[in-house]
Amino acid sequence: MINRKLLSILPLSAAVLSALSPVTAYSSMGAAPILVAQADLSAELLKQDVVADSIPEFSEELIAAESASAGTDEEALVAQNSPSRRKTTRTTRTTRTTRTTRSSTNSGGAAQSAPASSASRPAGARRVTNSDFARANKLAANGQYQEASKLLFQMSRNPNYAKNSAQIKYVLGLMLFEMKLNQAAAFVFYDLIRQETKTNPKSRFIRQSLEKLAIAADSLDSDVLLRYAIKQVDEQEFPAASRDMLYFRTGELRMGDKQFAEAARQFGRVRSNSQFFNRARYNAGLALAEGGETEKAQAVFEDLAERTKDLGVTDRQRVNALLGRARVLYQRGQFGAAIEAYRDIPRDTEQWHEALFESSWAMLRDGRFRSALSNFHSLHSPYYEDFYQPESLLLRAIVYLYICRYDEMGKILELFEKVYKPVQRDIRNILTGTEDPLTYYRELTRVKDNFDAIRTNRVGRRGFQLPFSVAREVLKEGDVRKTFNYLGNLEAEKKRIAGLPIAWKSSGIGIYSTKIVDKRIEATRVLAGKQIRRHLILMQNELRDLFEQDGFLRFEMLNSKRETLRKEIQGKGLTKVDEDTSRNFYIQNGFEYWPFTGEYWLDEIGNYHYVGVKACE
């Protein structure tokens, strides 16, 4: 963003330009969700995620609490599988009587059939026997995961199996994992880890559950579950087949903590034959760039671009690498090389628009004002009017100020106010209207779910509180994208549960799993709403600053010291203004030339050339 304080003490100088940057950090990389942007909400994530205080104990009290929250009382849930805690004593006592009776029978004595045993159990409950464990294992071995999970859940809450509780819960977690119910499985593994850490710290099931929890969290894309698991796991004991995932996720977490050197080291440990390698390589370049090791970052991006060249010109990973290289060159102050690197971004990719804007910065820093204005002509065409780019309009106005084109400058500032005053008003209205996170979540979700229809039908946007360009920009933010990705995984798990047989869904483990996923969806929507509101506040603050910049620019446009201003700029090294390039230059170099008459064509976007000259004396 333009530095307001520096701009307020114009004349503009190289010091001003050094404060302007197309990429102040790599958190805005459109190539992938970057975890740096999530750091400010880490405390909120800890409050909202399962590893904090919202995870239910694997016990009757909290299962009952989960059930009560959705209108299901404890008895309705417990009667499906096992006696309630109030009846547990009687059941245990009866079980002991039964065992004594069997012992008497085996010794030849008279045995009573103990009819009271059946009478003491609630309707629908079945007495658990020692053979159930063998039966559960057999069901699991035969791939009958649903039946095995039903039995194991029942066993996990029977006091007769207390000594084997860890093993039962571990196998239960595996069954849910095999059923692709990763969130439900993660709860079971977490509960086992917490239970055994308190009662049996040397239990082998802690290590095994941590491994499975990490894999489940990776599938869910849940950072906090990953953080909890990775913090405790011993990588030497982690399965070799999944170790690359461990390194990659650890690198992501260190990146989010701004430990860039350690993040780069972890990304560098991912093997080249791993499915995580290209992403790890790209993130290693980001970490090195963030840490100031720009030469190493450039080498990493160039290596990745070379490795992915056979994947296709528009392959996302290849384009990300090319864009990363261009940004590092800009960061190193090699503006000419950065301009050439930005030109390597294919125009039919989503990154091309960003590359076009960022290359304009490099052109400005390199004194190529005419080239920068050529880019702006494409950026501000009707094809990109739905993109949130207020800064680019002010940057265009600054270029016109440099070359003393005050009429054009005035038109651009008028355009800035025409477009972004309504945007500023709409953002202010929604922020002052409510603080309810779900309102923000629902509003952005409406845009997300109807994106293509809204994009092509401007009339249909009237029913939305958020301007389309703002919603589009927020949807690109790294933390929002990651939260929506996690939410999508939860909703997919909910659909999988809905598709299971009614006998499983109505069982104890079915109800329990449903409550888990529903609670996570609810909490994650709240978190997404808070993230969205936070970004809207940042955008509101940015627009306030930019409108102040607009005022300063208008003042300078009318200032009588324009000649002094131009000399100050040239005196600071910005002396190369490409004003000697005429129309003949383009014709002689193989270009076909058509004067622009106000009509834009898609195949001409990016090929406009500003051929005006500076108007300064």
CA dist 588 → 582, 591, 595, 596, 608 (Å):
10, 7, 16, 19, 16
Residue showing tokens 């939260």: 483
pLDDT for residue 31: 36
* Residue 115, in any domain of the structure: no
- Would you say 383 and 605 are in contact if contact means Cβ atoms under 8 Å apart? yes
Measured CA to CA, the distance from residue 319 to residue 304 in angstroms comes to 10
For the stretch 107-123, pLDDT in tens is: 333 333 333 333 334 33
* Residue 496, in any domain of the structure: yes
pLDDT-flagged residues of the chain (< 50): 1-126, 128, 560-561, 565, 572-581, 585-587, 589-594, 596-597, 599-603, 605, 608, 611
Give the domain extent around 13: 1-30+371-617
pLDDT for residue 236: 85
CA dist 33 → 27, 37, 283, 291, 485 (Å):
8, 9, 10, 18, 10
Measured CA to CA, the distance from residue 274 to residue 283 in angstroms comes to 15
Counting Cα atoms < 13 Å in the Cβ hemisphere of 481 gives 18
* Residue 539, in any domain of the structure: yes
* Total domains, the chain: 1
* Residue 449, in any domain of the structure: yes
Measured CA to CA, the distance from residue 530 to residue 201 in angstroms comes to 37
* Residue 70, in any domain of the structure: no
- Would you say 222 and 486 are in contact if contact means Cβ atoms under 8 Å apart? yes
Task: Say what the pTM is.
Answer: 0.72
DSSP state of 57: P
Measured CA to CA, the distance from residue 190 to residue 58 in angstroms comes to 9
* Two structure tokens written together for 391: 């800064």
pLDDT for residue 349: 87
pLDDT for residue 610: 53
* Residue 106, in any domain of the structure: no
* Residue 313, in any domain of the structure: no
pLDDT for residue 8: 30
pLDDT for residue 580: 46
* Residue 286, in any domain of the structure: no
